[in-house]
Amino acid sequence: MAQNTGGTIKVGVLHSLSGTMAISESVLKDTVLMLVAEQNAKGGLLGKKLVPVVEDPASNWPLFAEKARKLLAQDKVAVVFGGWTSVSRKSMLPVFEELNGILFYPVQWEGQESSKNIFYTGATPNQQALPAVDYLLAKGVKRFALLGTDYVYPRTANKILAAYLKSKGVAEADIMVNYTPFGQSDWQSIVSDVKKFGSTGKKTAVVSTVNGDANVPFYKELTNQRITPDFIPVVAFSVGEQELTGIDTKPLIGHLAAWNYFESVDTPANAAFIKSWRDFKGDKNAVTNDPMEATKIGFDMWVKAVEKAGTTDSEAVQRALIGVEVPNLTGGKAKMLANHMIAKPVLIGEIHTDDQFDVVAQTPEVNGEAWSGLLPESKNLIADWTPPINCGAYDKLAKKCLSGAR
């Protein structure tokens, strides 16, 4: 990608504003617009005004690739902030690699990938799923119902989770797995199966990777069948404050979510972010959530790397990003690692009466892992985009790059 010339730097925004994922993604578009406005109020970047270019891929996975190509090749954006589902990221990845663009991806995901052109500010399984399971195991949970939307993130995350649970002594018969399409609306029989699975006398929990607007009828059906947190708690990886705004939370008090940020975190940085967001939206009740924090972290890292490189040239900024540190909103620091993941704390939150989460457990910062050591196919792999390795899938035993070399 060429360096920006003239008086502006274009910033691509690629989040679904319609379709099944709009419930989650639309606020991320507004988050980028707020951050761009704030940066322009500080004088812009390299003396130039930032100009957002917004595209709506409409929860249509092939359309993500088409819109990414437009942003990079036609609009000549310096960076793109976008995606939610892993299938949307997988759709965009070849385009960013072909055109050597930069994508910041802000949502929890399955790992098992590292691209030179993608910077992953959402949680990998060891920064969300595994600590959540550790929390449940410590609470005496013996049976696990792994419910997910049918696409790459839930399937890979649950494969890793199942391997982890078995390594902790959980029998295969005590692990239930079920997948549903995007937008699933009828949960009666699935929730009934979960209820039966949890009625054996062993303490049971649901680990949910259900994504998007399917969460609304899912939680409603839990209430209909009287599945309470003291009977079968649910810990969700894709339900945050934004999703709770569409659900009657009173019957859900006590159910859980695992993220790296909650709006209820009490720090000066978070208070300032919440105020900025509500002012920007003109809504004193507007909520913040984890992918918004991950978007802010990515944006701040990109700004710092561009200033460090003195240019928006993709190659220079990619190199400058590694090692960049910025404050997170929970009181710590986020650092861009050599594998293009970041360090994040893990927080377990419990649904509260005011559509918020009370933090009931928190870890120190955990480094994101590109490849899981729990799966045979990746146990010897690492990602490292610094010399001399410069590789997204490096086999430590064979001492060779399998794919994704710089």
Residue whose tokens read 């060891």: 126
Tens of pLDDT along 106-118? Answer: 999 999 999 999 9
Q: Please, where are the H alpha helices in 268-327? A: 268-281, 290-309, 314-321
Task: Walk me through the domains of the chain, giving residue ranges and CATH numbers.
Answer: 8-123+265-346 (3.40.50.2300), 126-259 (3.40.50.2300), 376-406 (no CATH)
Least confident range of 98-107, 211-220, 245-254, 348-357: 245-254
Residue 6's pLDDT band, with cuts at 50, 70 and 90, is low
Closest to 289 in 3D by CA, of 252, 329, 254, 326: 329
Q: Does the pLDDT at position 173 exceed 80? A: yes
Residues linked to residue 144 through DSSP beta bridges, in sequence order: 175, 205
Give me the percent of the chain exceeding a pLDDT of 90.
88
Q: Does the pLDDT at position 122 exceed 90? A: yes
Distance of CA 129 to the CA centre of its chain: 12
Residue 216's pLDDT band, with cuts at 50, 70 and 90, is confident
Tens of pLDDT along 200-210? Answer: 999 999 999 99
Residue whose tokens read 């639309």: 26
Residue 251's pLDDT band, with cuts at 50, 70 and 90, is confident
Edge-to-edge order in the sheet of strand 118-120? 49-55, 8-14, 79-82, 103-105, 118-120
For β-strands 234-236 and 204-209, DSSP reports them as: parallel
> Average pLDDT for residues 82-90, to the nearest whole number?
95
The reported pLDDT for the residue numbered 1 is: 44
Asked if residue 235 lies in contact with residue 258, where contact means CB atoms within 8 angstroms, the answer is yes
Q: Does the pLDDT at position 5 exceed 60? A: no
Backbone angles phi, psi at 42, to 5 degrees: -90, 0
C-alpha to C-alpha distance for 241 and 259, rounded to whole angstroms? 11
* 152/307: higher pLDDT: 307
Tens of pLDDT along 264-307? Answer: 999 999 999 999 999 999 999 999 999 999 999 999 999 999 99
Give me the percent of the chain exceeding a pLDDT of 70.
98
The reported pLDDT for the residue numbered 51 is: 98
Asked if residue 165 lies in contact with residue 145, where contact means CB atoms within 8 angstroms, the answer is no
User: Helix %, strand %, coil % for the chain, to 5?
Assistant: 35, 20, 40
Q: Where are the beta strands (DSSP E) in 307-390?
A: 325-327, 333-335, 343-344, 347-351, 357-362, 366-367, 381-384
User: Which bin fits 201, alpha (ψ -120 to 50), beta or left (φ > 0)?
Assistant: left
The reported pLDDT for the residue numbered 405 is: 56
| Mean residue pLDDT across the chain | 94
Q: Supply the DSSP symbol for 251.
A: G
Q: Does the pLDDT at position 406 exceed 90? A: no
Distance of CA 23 to the CA centre of its chain: 15
Enumerate long-range contacts of 320-325, CB under 8 Å, 24 or more apart: 321/119, 322/385, 322/386
The reported pLDDT for the residue numbered 404 is: 62
The reported pLDDT for the residue numbered 245 is: 79
Tens of pLDDT along 357-399? Answer: 999 999 999 999 999 999 999 999 999 999 999 999 999 999 9
Tens of pLDDT along 20-71? Answer: 899 889 999 999 999 999 999 999 999 999 999 999 999 999 999 999 999 9
Q: Supply the DSSP symbol for 45.
A: B
Cα dihedral 114→116→118→122 (10° resolution):
40
Q: Does the pLDDT at position 2 exceed 60? A: no
